[in-house]
Amino acid sequence: MISEPTSAFVWIWLPDATEPVVCGRLEHVDGRIGFVYARSYLDRADVVPIYEPELPLRRGYQYPASGQTRGVPLSIDDAMPDSWGRRLVNHRLGQHNAELGDLTYLLESSSDRVGALDFQTSPDVYQPRRLGQVSLDQLATAAERVETGKPLSPDLEMALLAGTSLGGARPKATVDDYRQLIAKFSSTTDTYPVVQAEYVAMELAARCGLDVAPVELVTAANRHALLVERFDRTPAGGRRRVVSALTILGLTPFPEGRFASYSDLTHQIRARFTDPERTLRELFCRVAFNICCGNTDDHGRNHAAFVGPELALTPAYDICPQARVGETAAQAMAFDRHGNRDARMSLLLDAADLYLLDRAEAAGIVVAMVENIRRHWPEVCDAAQLSTTDRDRLWGRQFLNRHALQT
């Protein structure tokens, strides 16, 4: 059994910086994990908080919010590997069925994680845990071997290291060519073309005018892979601070995450985001598009904001149509004041004022969105190399489902 480390040093990329500095320490204290800023960090002229109001710049230990009985502060938990990353860490450490400690996952996962934080055993020397030069084919092969329980060679094990710090349950890894990318691979358990469907949804969302992370569909090890351009990196090599909607709402992923709602997020946007009117319109468009494409995996970790003097929505990501049996479906987060999750456009239009829109304006947005999806569908499906059978399975079921479009 792996012994849990007693502490981990937190390093941060300051705005416009290309190298990190140590900003504090995580430490087990009386059965809880506390965070304390380093004195040297608090004394800097260019100091910024990891995330306020959760971790303000002050001396002394700060703990997860009251009611959070375990884990690390939420803004640090956003940098924690999720189920796929944890599976890879467990695989590499030979602890396949074990639930390891939070500090172990932070220290054993890749340094190329989402946002501007990393975790080290030293307060003085930064040694990134990152991927060497490997091909997409190697990454795809390594991911498949992990899924099927096959052993990895040392080279393949290192090839997957860069995927350990990323969120989500599906196989993925980071790629660094002239751009910084996240590669998402098809899974051995897929029952429909998940990767191609996500490409279609992301590309159609962009063509509907949403602010979306750029994507590209490629082939790796004779399987499709989706490349997603990273928005948390700068062209000069810096990193941008990012927090999830769950953290903004002050909710843990489990069990509180199920109570996250778009309604609560709209209140946060009004109070704490730059340009609230434009941001709320964008959020409405994202909810409407999720309903149009059957993406019911729109939970609080699949929305995020850049951290600065004010918050600002990141580009949309993880817009992935979900398997659907009948006509009805439910969004992961309620989108009106009454707790409705039923994926019906009529209910969203009734809640238009939450997003600072009147119903007529909101209806116009939806009509234009549906027209764009219909118009661009053939071309985008061609680019995704979707077969006629797969198009027929997606159209009218995930994309533009009749029940979903009831207004």
Per-residue pLDDT for 1 more than 70? Answer: no
Instruction: Answer yes or no: are the C-beta atoms of 39 and 58 closer than 8 Å.
Output: no
Tokens 């600002």 -> residue: 312
pLDDT tens sequence across 195-204: 999 999 999 9
pLDDT class for 345, splitting at 50, 70, 90? very high
Report field, pTM of the whole predicted structure over 0.75: yes
Question: In degrees rounded to 5, what are phi and psi of residue 240?
Answer: -105, 140
Tokens 């797969």 -> residue: 390
Tokens 């940098």 -> residue: 79
DSSP 211-266: -B--EEEEEETTEEEEEEE-SSB-TTS-B--EEEHHHHHT--TTTGGGG-BHHHHH
Query: In percent, how much of the chain has pLDDT > 90?
Result: 71
pLDDT value for 68: 62
CA proximity to 82, closest of 248, 315, 246, 324: 246
Torsion of CA 153, 155, 159, 161, to 10 degrees: 80
pLDDT tens sequence across 160-170: 666 655 666 67
Stretch among 145-149, 292-296, 381-385 having the lowest mean pLDDT: 145-149
Which one has a higher pLDDT value, 253 or 57?
Answer: 57
